[in-house]
Amino acid sequence: MPESRPFVSLATDFGAAYTGICAGVVYSIVPAATVLVLSDEITPYAVAEGAMLLRQALPYLPVGVHVGIVDPGVGTRRLPVAIETGRGDVLVGPDNGLLIPAAETLGGVVRAHVLENQAYRLPGGVSASFHGRDIFSPAAAHIAAGVGVAEFGAPAEPLPLDVPAPVVAAGELSAPILYTDRFGSLILNAGPDDLRAAFGPLDHGTPLELACPDGAERVTFEETFGGVAPGEPLVWVDSSGLLGLAVNQGSAADRFGLGEPGAVTLRLAD
């Protein structure tokens, strides 16, 4: 960790109040820390959405301790872990794949350890449903204060994020939906290379056919939302480098009746 003021970020699906409690725990242990609530608005239980947020955001944050909590398995046998990355950050959260895409963008996993040392948990025991308060936030604070990840427990092999891969064929791309953003755009587990592998080089404005539950609709591959008129659909590359399906000034999820878990299938238009 940097020798200057330690930096801790929090990204959760808790909402403001519970996330504020987690921030308070960090401050109570390491009052000198800078604590940033990156988001408390991840869709509840949406592990892939949280993973993509961390992947996209953490490279732009200072080196520090980053807590990610989207934890449908809280209280079960899933492990709490701390992951040290090549850039020097430590990611803290549940071992359900949430932290791995971000770790890969931060230089890869250097080592990971289970958060099992009772000395670095809140006193008074651990609740069955609020590990963010009782395990993850105290661990993050102690790491920010200089405790090494190996002091927390046994080495771990973190689980990967469990999302299907895109399916590429000549003239067709089927891409799993990772999450729906707040505008109703569908962010896909596929990138420009997958689009190119399916269709070859595509110019902006190229029409594609989108397979829908009620038939097929035409969309175009565009650089910007403004490449189509308001209310019209498009496929574009989002700011994290992933493909997305959007409607200019509208909701693709509502228009096409698609969402996660699900997939978007694109073909070349006739």
Q: 9: closest CA among 141, 196, 190, 175?
A: 141
CA 198, CA 195: separation in Å to the nearest integer?
5
* Dihedral sign from CA coordinates of 58, 131, 27, 38: positive
Per the CB < 8 A criterion, the answer to whether 220 and 228 are in contact is: yes
Q: How far apart are CA 258 and CA 164, in angstroms?
A: 16
Inter-axis angle of helices 16-29 and 137-144, to 10 degrees? 40
CATH (residue range 7-152): 3.40.50.10790
User: Does the pLDDT value for residue 3 go beyond 80?
Assistant: no
> Average of pLDDT values for 151-161?
98
Q: Are strands 90-94 and 167-169 parallel, antiparallel or unpaired?
A: unpaired
Q: How confident is the model at residue 259 (pLDDT cuts 50, 70, 90)?
A: confident
Condensed to tens digits (0 to 9), the pLDDT of residues 106-138 reads: 999 999 999 999 999 999 889 999 999 999 999
pLDDT score recorded for residue 216 = 87
Going from N- to C-terminal start, the domains of the chain cover 7-152, 167-268
Q: How many CB atoms neighbour CB 175 within 10 A?
A: 28
At residue 149's C-alpha, the angle toward residues 147 and 155, to 5°, is: 150
pLDDT, average across residues 85-93? 98
91 pLDDT tier (thresholds 50, 70, 90): very high
Residue-level pLDDT at 78 = 96
Write down the residue that tokens 């850039």 correspond to: 87
Is residue 87 predicted with pLDDT exceeding 90?
yes
What CATH number should be reported for the domain whose range is 167-268?
Answer: 2.40.30.90
DSSP at 120: G
The residue ranges of DSSP E strands in 64-115, in sequence order, are: 65-69, 80-85, 90-94, 109-114
> Reduced to 3 states, what is the DSSP secondary structure of residue 186?
strand
| CA–CA dist 34, 138 (Å, integer) | 15
pTM: 0.93
Q: Residue 264: which of 190, 180, 166, 176 has the closest Cα? A: 176
- Rounded CA gap, 52 and 46, in Å? 10
| pLDDT, position 213 | 67
Taking alpha carbons only, the member of 240, 246, 204, 196 closest to residue 221 is 204
